[in-house]
Amino acid sequence: MTKQTDAIDFWFDFSSPYGYLMAEKIDALAARYGRSVRWRPFLLGAVYKQVGGQPLTSIPLKGPYSIRDLARSARFLGLRFSMPNPFPVSTVHAARAFYHLAQGDPALARRFALAIFRDYFVDGHDISALDKVVDVGASLGIDGEALGVAVGTDAVKALLKSACDEALGIGVFGSPYVVIDGEPFWGVDRLPQIERWLESGGF
Amino acid sequence: MTKQTDAIDFWFDFSSPYGYLMAEKIDALAARYGRSVRWRPFLLGAVYKQVGGQPLTSIPLKGPYSIRDLARSARFLGLRFSMPNPFPVSTVHAARAFYHLAQGDPALARRFALAIFRDYFVDGHDISALDKVVDVGASLGIDGEALGVAVGTDAVKALLKSACDEALGIGVFGSPYVVIDGEPFWGVDRLPQIERWLESGGF
């Protein structure tokens, strides 16, 4: 198998709480089975516009349940979590910044992604503004001014557009959405199935 | 704690494939922790009418995914499963028959419920018709003629109506929906959290 076939694709939106929980778990899980993970932020709103869907917490009955389930799922997984307000927020700047960083240094882009997630879902800061995204980058030693400029370029915008098109093309309808050997797993609650898949090479 | 507090409530619709998977697991899991389970069939359609929602498999993208996820989840849990056609079907007769049987013999009602589930999700038979429901009952030694009559009585209709009202009242929005000590768990994928809850008395 080639390196590319081996990689796991991890699709997520930075405003997805279950996506955040997956982000804290997927790399270590994959590494235990010698697999790498390609982080692929996309815009859930772009998908919802095409196929329907709405923010989880605004759905009748399921919304209040999900607030409770999220807190419990975080405790179950041993992760810190606090439901942010406002929710959801625009993640276009964060996602563009990610793809800009990933071009030069995928590991740095991943650290940036985790820092954005934690800033929103642990510290409760609104991560939608470009200034905020730049600040999170600067806290990791990234040149903030250069990052701010890059995020506004057509080239970087095109990277995110292309990722969103690819997500739609392969049928990604939610976040987190993990694809292993062509097999899709939606939701952080599929971690046990993901682990068995990695362990057994499919089941 | 009284016996009633101890009981786990298991809400489900007979046409719910994830409900079927839960039905095969919940009693044994609860028993390992000395807990009993009250099976509570309801009509998912009645809930969807109130709060929105639609059959999983007819949702764009999520529908095709769910077909694949169901087959994989059944393999993961070591259960036989075959997606039936037609799907979903009316389960009003099956649910009424259940409540009729449960009045006299809850254990028999549970065996009947599992037989209905397997007839639909393993053997692929349409379980919507009253004749079919009566046949499944008869296969368990139940007086089919009496069952057929009972299902049509106002008293038995009222039992199901009352269960559906109660489901709506406590916010049940999907199937399976398990309530333990007031804590709700939606979906068969919450089995690991249910187990930890039973093990630890809450977490």
Instruction: Please tell me what DSSP assigns to residue B57.
Output: G
In the structure, what pLDDT confidence band is assigned to residue B165 with cuts at 50, 70 and 90? very high
Chain A interface mutation, best of B21, B47, B54, B65, highest count of A Cβ atoms under 10 Å: B65
pLDDT at A1 over 90: no
User: Chain A: residue nearest B52 by CA?
Assistant: A60
The contact set of A with B (CB < 8 A) is: 51-52, 59-62, 64-65, 68-69, 72-73, 75-76, 171-174, 183-184, 186-187, 189-190, 192-193, 196, 203
Tell me what ipTM this predicted complex has. 0.94
pLDDT at B3: 39
Burial class (CB in 10 A: 0-12, 13-18, 19+), B59: middle
CA atoms within 13 A on the CB side of A202: 6
pLDDT at B116: 98
Helix (H, G, I), strand (E, B) or coil at B32: helix
Measured between alpha carbons, how far is B113 from B97 in angstroms, rounded to an integer?
Answer: 9
Contact A192/B69, CB-based, under 8 Å?
Answer: no
Q: What is the pLDDT of residues A99-144, one digit of tens each?
A: 999 999 999 999 999 999 999 999 999 999 999 999 999 999 999 9
Measured between alpha carbons, how far is B62 from B54 in angstroms, rounded to an integer?
Answer: 11
Q: Cα distance from A61 to chain B (closest Cα, Å)? A: 6
Q: Cα distance from B60 to chain A (closest Cα, Å)? A: 6
Contact A65/B184, CB-based, under 8 Å?
Answer: yes
Q: Which residues of B touch A68 (CB under 8 A)?
A: 184
Q: What sign for the dihedral angle of Cα B144, B145, B148, B154?
A: negative
Task: Please give the mean pLDDT across all residues of chain B.
Answer: 94
Query: What topology is assigned to B3-200 in CATH?
Result: Glutaredoxin (3.40.30)
What are residue B51's phi and psi, to 5 degrees? -120, 5
What are residue A38's phi and psi, to 5 degrees? -95, 115
pTM, two decimals, is 0.95
pLDDT at A184 over 80: yes
Q: Which residues of A touch B64 (CB under 8 A)?
A: 171
Q: Cα distance from A26 to chain B (closest Cα, Å)? A: 18
Beta bridge partners of B37: B8
Nearest to A203 among B69, B75, B174 (CB): B75
Q: Cα distance from B107 to chain A (closest Cα, Å)? A: 31
Contact B186/A61, CB-based, under 8 Å?
Answer: no
pLDDT at A58: 84
Q: Which residues of A touch B183 (CB under 8 A)?
A: 72
pLDDT at A49: 86
Report the run of H or E that residue B29 belongs to, with start and end: helix B26-32
Average pLDDT of the segment spanning B160-171:
96
Which of A79, A68, A66 shows the shortest CA–CA distance to A21?
A79
- In the sheet that B183-186 helps form, which strands lie side by side, from edge to edge? B37-41, B8-12, B177-180, B183-186
Where do the domains of chain A lie?
3-200
Contact B203/A72, CB-based, under 8 Å?
Answer: yes
Contact B75/A190, CB-based, under 8 Å?
Answer: no
